Amino acid sequence: MRHITPEDLFRFTLVGHLAVHPHRPEILYQERMADSDTNDYRSRIMRVTLDTPPRPFTAGPSDAMPRFSPNGQWVAFLSKRSGRPQIWVMPTDGGEAHQISFFTGGVKDFEWLPDSRALVGLALIGPEGIEDERRPEPDDPRRRYTRDVKVITEISHKLDGEGYFDEKRPHVVWIPLDPAVPPRQLTQGPMRHHGLAVSPDGRYLLTASRYGPNYDRQAFIRQIYGIDLGNPSEPRALTPEWLTVESFAFHPDGHRIYFLAQQVADLGYDNTSLYQTDREGREPVRVTPDWDRPWGDVALSDMPAPASNPLTFGSNGQTLTLLTSVNGTTQVAQVELATGQVTLLTEGPQVIYSFAVSPDETGIVFGTTTPLNPGQIVWLSLPDRQRRVLADPNQEILRELTLAVPERFTAQAPDGPPVDGWVMPPLDARPGARYPAALEIHGGPMMMYAEAFFFEFQWLAANGYGVIYSNPRGSQGYGREFCRAILPRWGHLDYQDLMAALDTALARYEWIDPERLAVMGGSYGGYMTNWIISHTHRFRAAITMRSVVDWRTMVGTGDLGWHWIERAQNRWPWTDEDSWYREQSPITYVDQITTPLLIEHQEGDLRCPIEQAEILFTAMKYFNRAPVKFIRYPDEFHGMSRDGKPWHRIYRLDTFTEWLGAFLPSSDETNTEETSP
């Protein structure tokens, strides 16, 4: 047995995005792994049944999102075989795949139509309409050497993980299987469309977008729009502006529509709730008003597998199956639509991130992660609740590794609610010895740490560091009010919860050395790291990643643009009424920082632009009160730690242990019997 190393990133395989054959218990799923030679990721589609082991269905290396046709004869999937993501189709029983979409901008999503003779998709299309990628491009030097110029006219003009928008927008298209029939574009204009749902009779289509004169000013608001495929005129809004929609599906009756959404006024500090409307766009009704947990998976991991949360109706139309996040876990739940009663179909310390229901509704297949395994495909028999692992692609490397097992605990700040926390001990710890520990803080903040595999935590434990992590107020998975508690002000109630979790861990685990503590986090977790080290000196080292430093400069620079002003009670940062920005910005207190700080940021970060890190680094160098180092990663977005270039991810992990080792070395052990009172 050995300890994990950063290069083990290339040994792990992530599995998910499940699809079940409509007539037999045959399962397809996507398999994804990092590639050391290309510094990228490979993916292929695998096939498994209840009686046969997994085997490749496609060869890859860029195949994703498998979906069976309703008649079960075909499998469609996305692949970059021709360059951009396009839809490919192959027979269910095997054979050659053939490409059926040829849009120059590629395809982002698709759904089969009920007759299995055509699909609808979201293709990137510009004002000139559909262009075929097979058409040779004119050899025009002016166009060739200026195509990288960005011309911006919209307030919402970029998105982290995608980049700056060009004229091509995701539009709804009809795509036939017959190559002799051309595709048809069903939506027009500069709007962006998200998600697709088709009525059972194949005559009506749903998508989400934002139409009207404020399409770019309020692009974060997504409404459901209905399209009559027989008469595809201007799409009609079916949901109100006070809700922003995440996903949606037709009820089997073809009239009712169920969807997941949040209230716009809550700015994301809300449970994602389940609503019902219909094709006439009646006022939405909450289906599960007593369920005070978010629908969907809000768990964090730095090993994210291909995820999916299909809204799946029972054949009788009386139930709906979907994922829900509950107190540091994600489970499969079933909703009785008539009463709103919620029943958890799964339980235990796990995060389920993808699932599908068998055709006869006697079983569920799902992708799950635990703190000791980044991904398995599991079959759950519903009559007897028996589980069977169908695919466990990481068992070989897991047999080689000694992993740290986290222990869960509960902490509580004065006048605060109970807060979940975990402690991961260092590997090979000797009884009676004390070791350094890092307080890790998650991003969001409207997310949650959970019972999921975390490569970074295992790497720290392998190097002799304990890891303390928790879900302070502001996290999701613990109810609406728990999340909303910090909406107007960060660094107060959440700070109290984080310190309570740390103090509880120190009191419970004597091996943690209170004189050798570090604090670290990314995004909101980076903000809190900056805040903490500018308000206390109890930490010997800190690592801040892709963080917020100055709220005044965040307005208008990040991809959420001016949306941040709503947390500042709609006061602009360049007016005399800028007290909220000054009080809430860690840069205001930078002269108080004496903790050695490693600053990590991605140069292509569009969520928290890199000027945030530049401001912090320059200020700390100017005051010169603590060591500081600034590491910049080129050509990376905000989420590099999860899905960035593999070798950058590996380099990043090495810099963490180098920095911590310089200021709180793990080898400097002390004896608790000698130091304890």
**Predicted pLDDT of residue 670:** 53
Is pLDDT of 671 > 60? no
Q: Looking at the domain assignment, is residue 579 inside a domain? A: no
Confidence of residue 672 (pLDDT cuts 50, 70, 90): very low
- Whether the per-residue pLDDT at 649 is higher than 80: the answer is yes
In a domain, 192, yes or no: yes
Out of 78-87, 256-265, 380-389, 551-560, least confident range: 551-560
Radius of gyration of the chain (CA): 25
Q: What range does the domain containing 521 cover?
A: 404-550+585-675
Question: Domain holding 474: CATH number?
Answer: 3.40.50.1820
Cis amide bond preceding 136, omega within 30: no
- Residue 675: band (very low, low, confident or very high) from pLDDT cuts 50, 70, 90: very low
Type of residue at 109:
D
Residues 371 and 435 in one domain: no
What does the alpha-carbon distance between residue 212 and residue 197 come to, in Å, rounded to a whole number? 22
Q: Residue 149 is part of a domain; what is its CATH number?
A: 2.140.10.30
Domain identity same for 390 and 444: no
531 and 628, same domain (yes or no): yes
Please tell me whether the peptide bond between 665 and the residue prior to it is cis, using omega within 30 degrees of 0.
no
pLDDT tens-place string over residues 145-176: 998 999 999 999 999 999 999 999 999 999 99
Q: Does residue 370 share a domain with residue 452?
A: no
What's the pLDDT tens digit per position in 578-595? 999 999 999 999 999 999
Check residue 677 and give its pLDDT: 33
pLDDT at residue 27 is higher than 80: yes
Average pLDDT of the segment spanning 596-606: 98
pLDDT above 90 (res 605): yes
- Give domain status of residue 648, yes or no: yes
User: For position 668, what pLDDT does the model report?
Assistant: 52
Let me know whether 176 and 274 are in one domain: yes
Q: Can you point out the beta strands (E) in 105-218?
A: 107-112, 118-125, 158-159, 163-164, 169-176, 184-185, 194-198, 204-209
What's the pLDDT tens digit per position in 400-449?
Answer: 999 999 999 999 999 999 999 999 999 999 999 999 999 999 999 999 99
Q: Is 504 part of a structural domain of the chain?
A: yes
Same-domain pairing of 390 and 416: no
Alpha helix positions (H), 102-231: 141-146
Query: Cβ distance 440 to 457 under 8 Å?
Result: yes
User: CA–CA separation, 515 vs 534, rounded Å?
Assistant: 18
Q: Is the pLDDT of residue 460 over 90?
A: yes
> pLDDT digits over 102-140, tens only?
999 999 999 999 999 999 999 999 999 999 999 988 888
Whether 32 shows a pLDDT value over 50: the answer reads yes
Whether 198 is in a domain gets the answer yes
Residue 595 shares a structural domain with residue 661? yes
In a domain, 562, yes or no: no
Task: Record the pTM.
Answer: 0.96
* One domain, residues 269 and 138: yes
Q: Mean of the pLDDT values across residues 469-494?
A: 98
> Long-range contacts made by residues 534-539, C-beta under 8 angstroms, separation at least 24?
534/586, 534/589, 534/590, 534/592, 534/593, 535/491, 535/495, 535/589, 535/592, 537/594, 537/595, 538/514, 539/439, 539/595
Sign for the pseudo-dihedral over CA of 615, 617, 618, 620: positive
In three-state secondary structure terms, 622 is helix
Please determine, for residue 228, whether its predicted confidence score (pLDDT) is greater than 80. yes
Q: Domain check: are 227 and 299 in the same one? A: yes
The angle subtended at Cα 231 by Cα 228 and Cα 236, nearest 5°, is 45
323 and 463 within one domain:
no
Domain annotation covers residue 204 = yes
Query: Are both 361 and 480 inside the same structural domain?
Result: no
Looking at the domain assignment, is residue 14 inside a domain?
Answer: no
Domain boundary, last residue among 339, 367, 397: 397
Which of 352, 377, 397 marks a domain boundary? Answer: 397
The pLDDT assigned to 674 comes to 40
DSSP state for residue 238 in the 8-state scheme: -
Q: Quick one: 78 and 219 in the same domain?
A: yes
User: Across the chain, what does the average pLDDT equal?
Assistant: 96
Domains identified in the chain, total number: 2
The last residue of a domain, from among 355, 381, 397:
397
8 A C-beta contact, residue 578 and residue 511: no
Average pLDDT over residues 328-333: 98
